[in-house]
Structure 1
Amino acid sequence: MGEKLSSGVIHFTLLTNCTKDFGMSKAETPENVADTPFHQTIDVQPGGSFAQAIEQFLEFACKGRMHAIGFVLIFSFACFLPGFFSIPPVDRDEARFAQASKQMIESRDFVDIRLQDDPRHKKPVGIYWMQAASAMASGQGEFAPIWVYRLPSLLGAVLATLLTFFIGERMGGTRLGLLSACALASCILLGVEARLAKTDAMLLATILACQFVMFRLFRTPEQRLSLWETVLFWGGLGAGILIKGPLALMIIILTIIAASIFSRSAGWLRGVRPLLGVPLMLAIALPWYVAITLQTDWAFFHEAIGKDLLGKIASGKESHGAPPGVYLLSTIGTFWPIFPLLVISAPLIWKSRSDRNVQFLLAWIIPAWLIFELIPTKLPHYVLPLFPAMVLLVIMSVLSKKIEFGKNWHKHLLLACLVVLPLILGVAAFGGTIFLGDGIYPSILLLAITAAVLGWSARSLFLARARTAGLVLCIAAAPLVYMSVHGIAFPNLNKIWLSNTMVEAARSWSLCKDVEIASVDYHEPSLVFLAGTDTYLTDSNGAAAFLREAGCRVVFVPEEYEPGFLKRAKQLKLNVIERTRVQGVTLNGGDALDIGLYVLREVD
């Protein structure tokens, strides 16, 4: 059915007759995947009965499409849910997004984006609408907890794994789709974004929707897009533009250009149906851009493009400047646990660049990666839209049986990444709860050690040439690490969650139901989200004046600002009293703070 490629070239299934359902040929559908060359190259004999047991489990998971989708969903939630409900609002981006969405609900203004009284004209409105809709659908509205605002990110991450499954299934059958989707879910970076109420996980889903359709067109250019494919591609592109401006469009255009260069033809784009699709894309994205332009008199574009976007391109913005190559180095952590397999399989991937599947995936990765490396501003999540293509290349390499793990540096790399790194994360998380928390949690170490044992077993299977079994254990170690770090450690690092402690202290020391809060110098958006939009962020003089006004009020004053505050309070003839102190470390910068909570004595 498939032809064996020359030595050193990945053995892929290349099928062109697509079905109406998902664009796959009969041989690629789940019920017939056992006949594909991918199935014929499975490692069954190496690794002994343990590897065979893993193989049998994988066979069960790949029994049919719905089976595989079910396993993808279960594994994705196992990776994404630890800590999802219990980690407090994270400064600063998450808290800013959530607070701006909260204010949309409060003000009923769903066009302009504001953070307290200041305009927040950095990103388009898409994710704010989704977060606001999530909060309103919860029935709690503006009082919804932070995890409700995270739901769009969780949905985006899960959709990303499912779309990766469908792309992998189209490339090589259910097994490739399942393992690729689970590998993507296991990556640290996607797990982080799934837990944060911001744009990047949902943006990834929109880009994957477009790339899913683009790959079908690239593989079978003689068939123009069906109606649902047209809606998925152009609708996904419109949604991406509404979520994060031109980034989705940039990645799709770069993929198209590079894929056309690889194939030496742009004729495969004939079936893209722009006459139907472009109006759909504009209908999704354009109305809000027109509305925000009219409402702000072009201020949004001046800030979002003139300052934010061009500022990041011209120089390292917001202390995030870094030289080229940083993203490549950062994959050690962001692409864990798949990173060592990426390094080992890289030569084989490059040798296989004549394969049409590989061409599309390289076209997806290379041009965008180069641009991200050249832009001075570096943030880890910028390269997240390229991770699905990287995962697919790695999994295809491992399943091909062409990849070897026998070199000494292979052994050391696998040991460092799959065994040592989980132990380091576990020890760091355990130590963090001791020094920054209020308890000792042995389960953190137990989970990390279990993950390291799985990593060691995966390494042993790779060295024994039981590649598929090793891959399964490599991926399976990830949720154990996330249960340890995200599920147990992070929520209990009480000293870094200063805003939570401050709000709890204010409410416990006030006799009023609705206490008004002012804060000197500590102006983190998480405090505004938790304490309320009317939280007053001020200086020492402003805090004293705030207490003088009628109402049930408290102020927080860091130790270094207390002399100025007390002096001004004395000038205003205020009888203030310190009720308690809040001590901790800022999440951004790691500065130690000792903050006093002050009230008027009459409020006592």
Structure 2
Amino acid sequence: MDRMSARPIQLLLLLFLSGLLFFTGLGSMGLTDRDEGRNAEAGREMFASGDLVTPTFNGVLRVAKPVFVYWLMTASYSLFGVNEFAARAPSALFGVALIVMHYLFLTRLRGPTLGLYGALMLLLNIEMLALGRMAITDSVLIFFTTLSLYGFWLGLHESGAGRHWIWAFYAGMALATLTKGPVGFAVPLITALLYLAATRQWRVFWQRGAPIVGLSLFLILAGPWYAAMFLIHGDAYSSQAKVHTVGRFLAPMEGHGGGWWFYFPVVLLGFYPWSTFLPAALYRAYQSWRECRPLRDRNHELPASGTPLGSGKELEWFAALWFVGVFIFFSLSSTRLPHYIGPLFPACAILAASFWAQGLKDPSTKGLRGSIHFMMGIGYLLAVGFASAPSLFAKFSGKMVKEFPFATQFDLGIGPYIGAAIVLVAMGLIGYFGLNDNRRGIAFAVAGGALASVFLVAILLVVPGLNRYAIAPPQELAYAAGLNLNPSDQLIAFGSTRPSIAFYAKRTVTFIPANEIDRLRKALGKEGRTMILLPEYFQDALPKEAAVFQPILKRYGYVLLGNEPMVTLPQGTKSTAPPPPKILGH
């Protein structure tokens, strides 16, 4: 197998671009609920308590996710303080690391040009950019499942010292399992088993893969924490863990369901613009496998010494099986969310990059022109959607008032119109260059540049307004409450039970849904200082026991009530209602 070296200029480009897109404004938006709020607070509680074994949220055992991301957040908080940037920094760092690893892997196998295409495709899509900027487990999970599968491939196909990469297969699975539970080993195992079955390399894996020693390594790395949790918490841990693993697979949780088709639009839009290459790339990999299958059926034993394994089109077969196996696995799960499918995106990037590189070499590549037309068609639809977003938001904002009380008081500004203009121009240029056999390479730069530009427009122009009026208001009030309440005092979040409130208050919070008035009455009967954080429109629903509570602070549709005056005001805060917001885009 030819060894091809990475080019420093390409690595610097990838580091700069991934750093720009993952870290720009990383801490400027409040934590989104519910997952970011829960994870960031669980990490904060671990940091505050010093207990590196038991994750908790709001003081209660949390087993929805294993411990590894909380360890990362604890380290991040110690470096950067307890804030949004620190909560999200591990995801961003692992996002950058994933792009670099993907580039080095493809460059090692197929050269720096295809490596660069593959790394840029993996970076420049909405799904990966979003996951790398959120305080959730998925960016870290994707890194470790990808490391595991790249270790499997290199350990199986490399000779000499390269065979030691097989240990990354087991170590990656173990760390992925510590990050998000059974899915951490399910994704690599499904892919590896499908590949071994399709290529008849079971004996090769038995000789090179050291499965017994590898299983021991997996258990040594992943087992101690799970064993400690079971010993410390017993059934309280095992029963809840079963609900969040087996139960999540068998039945929808928290309303996150969807039909069997759910992940088709997720891949199409989440991996756009490169997703338009996938149908042709998958068909090309399948055709190649069918053509080579008779030969492999006759000769599937270990080749003679010096004959490279994994040559030819086997990398595309591997990526196709990775994509199909993981796609079906998550489609079979009853609980479905867009970010669950993230671990198959590196496979998408391998397939799309290989197809594109082949198209540049051979303009007659089957499906190439159709894929470009497909990209343009989806792009024009997206441009129409962006241009329509402000009017649609204004039309339906009234239905969002329950979660965002000031939703009807602002709009999305000019950002969506700028995004629509960028996409329209880009689609025209992609058509002009992409359908020209001699200038097709420019279309890649146009597509990638358009995606990056639209993403930056969203971060710089759209997100600040949404954050100010929709995300930050209850968080600012929670922070103010946390400054004034002692550990023995009580903070009640009524009506709006966002987990991030606990993170900003830096204390336990009594979350009470709007329909549990009796529970609120009981909480208000406790002696001592109490504050209530709620949407303003819920004030009329408060029971008579809350009559003594007076408004302390207001923020864009939210109010903080207290039975005693506030002692400490957050810097730059006034205890009166804020002025009406400027209506963006007018």
TM surpasses 0.5 = yes
Alignment of 1:201-600 (within 5 A): 201-220=139-158, 223=160, 225-227=162-164, 229-269=165-205, 270-274=207-211, 277-305=214-242, 307-353=243-289, 354=292, 355-401=313-359, 402=362, 403=365, 412-422=373-383, 424-425=385-386, 428=389, 436=407, 441-442=413-414, 445-465=417-437, 466-494=439-467, 497-498=470-471, 500-505=472-477, 512=484, 517-538=491-512, 540=517, 553-558=530-535, 561-563=538-540, 565-570=542-547, 575-579=548-552, 581-583=554-556, 595-600=558-563
The AA in structure 2 aligned to 1:460 is: Y
Q: Secondary structure at the match of 2:430?
A: helix
Q: Distance in 2 between matches of 1:507 and 1:243?
A: 29
Counterparts in 2 of 1:278 and 1:603: CA distance versus 1, 3 Å: closer
**Change in CA separation of 1:511 and 1:147 when aligned onto 2, cut-off 3 Å:** closer
Query: Residues 191-236 of structure 1: CA distance to partner in whole angstroms, max 9, x if unpaired?
Result: 111111111111111111112122223434x557544x24433322
How far apart, CA to CA, are the structure 1 residues paired with 2:565 and 2:99?
57
Between the aligned partners of 2:55 and 2:236, the Cα distance in structure 1 is 12
Q: Secondary structure at the match of 2:65?
A: coil
**Aligned-partner Cα distance in 2 for 1:268–1:496:** 59
Could you give the per-residue CA deviations for residues 52-80 of structure 1, whole angstroms, max 9, x where no partner exists? xxxxxxxxxxxx52222111212222332
Q: Output the CA distance in 1 between the equivalents of 2:214 and 2:336.
A: 33
- Match of 2:542, SS state, is helix
What one-letter code is carried by the residue in structure 2 that aligns with 1:471? Answer: F
Residues 452/421 of structure 1: CA separation in 2 closer, same or farther (3 Å cut): same
- Taking structure 2 as the reference length, the TM-score comes to 0.80
Point out the more displaced range, 511-520 or 152-161. 511-520
Q: Which moved more, 1:276-285 or 1:355-364?
A: 276-285
In structure 1, C-alpha distance between the alignment counterparts of 2:285 and 2:551, rounded to whole Å: 65
SS at match of 1:456: helix
Whether the aligned pair in 2 keeps the contact of 1:320 and 1:378 (CA below 8 Å) is yes
2:62 equivalent among 114, 117, 120: 120
Q: Which residue of 110, 118, 124 maps to 1:180?
A: 118
- Taking only aligned residues, the RMSD between alpha carbons, in angstroms, comes to 3.1
After superposing the two structures, state which structure 1 stretch, 174-183 or 157-166, moved more. 157-166
Secondary structure of 1:578's counterpart equals strand
- One-letter amino acid of the structure 2 residue matched with residue 109 of structure 1: D
* Residues 559 and 513 of structure 1, relative CA distance in 2, 3 Å threshold: closer
Change (3 A) 1:368 1:509: closer
Instruction: Classify 1:239/1:422 alpha carbon distance in 2 versus 1 (closer, same or farther; 3 Å).
Output: farther
Among 109, 126, 130, the residue aligned to 1:171:
109
Number of residues of Structure 1 aligned to a counterpart in Structure 2: 523
Counterpart contact for 1:364–1:386, Cα < 8 Å: yes
Corresponding residue of 1:9: none
Pairwise CA distance, 1:288: 0.8
Q: Distance in 1 between matches of 2:478 and 2:450?
A: 41
Q: Which amino acid aligns with 1:520?
A: F
State the 1:411 CA deviation. Answer: 6.1
Secondary structure, aligned partner of 1:598: strand
Alignment CA distance shift 1:244-1:444 (3 Å)? same
Q: Check the 8 A contact 2:157/2:163 in 1, yes or no.
A: no
Percent sequence identity over aligned pairs: 22
Please name the residue that 2:302 is paired with.
none
Whole-angstrom CA distance in 1 between matches of 2:274 and 2:463 = 23
SS in 2 for 1:400: helix
Please say which of residues 147-156 and 419-428 is displaced more in the overlay: 419-428
Q: Which amino acid aligns with 2:446?
A: L
Question: Counterparts of 1:66-77 in structure 2 under 5 Å?
Answer: 66-77=8-19
Aligned to 2:4: 29
Query: How many Å separate the matches in 1 of 2:550 and 2:55?
Result: 38
Q: 1:61 — aligned with what?
A: none
Q: CA deviation at 1:163?
A: 1.8
Q: For structure 2, list consecutive stretches of 5 or more residues without a partner in the other structure.
A: 293-312, 398-406, 568-586
* Alignment partner, residue 60 of structure 1: none
Q: 1:460/1:344 Cα in 2 relative to 1: closer, same or farther (>3 Å)? A: farther
Alpha-carbon distance between aligned partners in 2 of 1:187 and 1:521, rounded to the nearest angstrom: 36
